Amino acid sequence: MSFLDQIEPLKHAALAEFSAAADLAALEQAKVAFLGGNGKFTALLKQMGSLSKEEKPAAGKLINVAKAELEAKLAERRGELELKAALPKDPTDFTLPGRRRPLGKLHPLTQTVEDIVRAFRKIGFAVADGPEIEDEYHCFDALNTPADHPARDSQDTFYLATDKRPLLRTHTSSVQIRVMKSQQPPIRIVIPGRVFRRDNADATHNPTFHQIEGLYVDKGVTIGDLKGTVEFVFKELMGSDTKIRFRPHYFSYTEPSLEIDFQNALVKKMGKEWLEIAGCGMVHPQVFENVGYDPEVWSGWAFGFGVERIAMLRGGINDIRLFYENDARFLRQF
């Protein structure tokens, strides 16, 4: 075979091997086999010396063109193989669902409200709701709270305007009035909700917090029912070692009025004997009059307690402000 006739087949053989190289090492081997000191293409170059003067220029040109083509192919294939080496070994299946998607969870206050409501549902209570923006009638007057009562002072209550005196409810007791005005007894409800007071924020106070109100109205309801109910719910919530104590107190909408203290291992751990947890009492006859119930026929009791305080106890939380800061490191723990 003439010299010139050997160039093309050899070039094609080299191109085919470069293309077939599966990785960079194989490509390097193929390069050495053709273009290395002892390579086949180099051997062809060495034969140039034996050519005649007339043959040399054309052969040189052809060989240079072929060599440039081989170098270009080498660079291209090297680029492909480098990219392949940088990709992950196992193929990625983009149709696989995420294995541990963080779904988020309920806020500890929401969890506490849900637990309390669940306990009351077990004994036949339904959930009621009412507005956070209230008026003086539902928040105070109908609850028998006189106009000169300190709770009505603008030092303690957020008033929204001076004319019709809308306000941010200071307790969920306002919803008692709304429910009783809209339906007849028997009534057995709990009312979870947000309330507002002009407190400065410190470790145990915040200008907004949450309460759960309860109201039970029927014929022949007694204070014994109240005690039994409160005891059942707190044992469900805080464990069977929970003890309840009732102390006389004053609320304008109940008579008699009581404060509920409770005790369990958690309270003792805090170095306390009893912790005040709720207010309650038998619904005042005047309140029944105000909503149009006959106090000679109906009797009932009501209570209200703070959700934050219970959530703090259950979670060993010592600063109420943590609930409102939305720090995920805090929230993730519950």
* Contact footprint for ligand DAH (CB under 6 A): 171, 173, 213, 251, 253-254, 279-281, 302-304
Of 3 and 246, CB closest to ligand DAH: 246
Closest separation between CB of residue 249 and ligand DAH, Å?
8
**For 133-150, b where at least 16 C-beta lie within 10 A, e where not — what string?**
ebbbebbbebbbbeeeee
Closest separation between CB of residue 326 and ligand DAH, Å?
26
Closest separation between CB of residue 241 and ligand DAH, Å?
25
Of 82 and 218, CB closest to ligand DAH: 218
Closest separation between CB of residue 92 and ligand DAH, Å?
58
Q: Name the H helices within the chain.
A: 3-20, 24-35, 40-47, 55-86, 108-122, 136-139, 173-182, 223-238, 265-269, 285-291, 307-315, 328-331
Distances in Å between the Cα of 256 and the Cα atoms of 103, 171, 249, 283, 327 are 47, 19, 8, 8, 43
| C-beta of residue 180 within 8 angstroms of C-beta of residue 218 | no
List 249's β-bridge partners, or say none.
Answer: 257
DSSP 159: B
Closest separation between CB of residue 232 and ligand DAH, Å?
18
Of 34 and 209, CB closest to ligand DAH: 209
Of 70 and 109, CB closest to ligand DAH: 109
Closest separation between CB of residue 280 and ligand DAH, Å?
5
Of 237 and 331, CB closest to ligand DAH: 237
Of 12 and 250, CB closest to ligand DAH: 250
Surface-to-core class of residue 305, CB atoms within 10 Å of its CB (0-12 exposed, 13-18 middle, 19+ buried):
buried
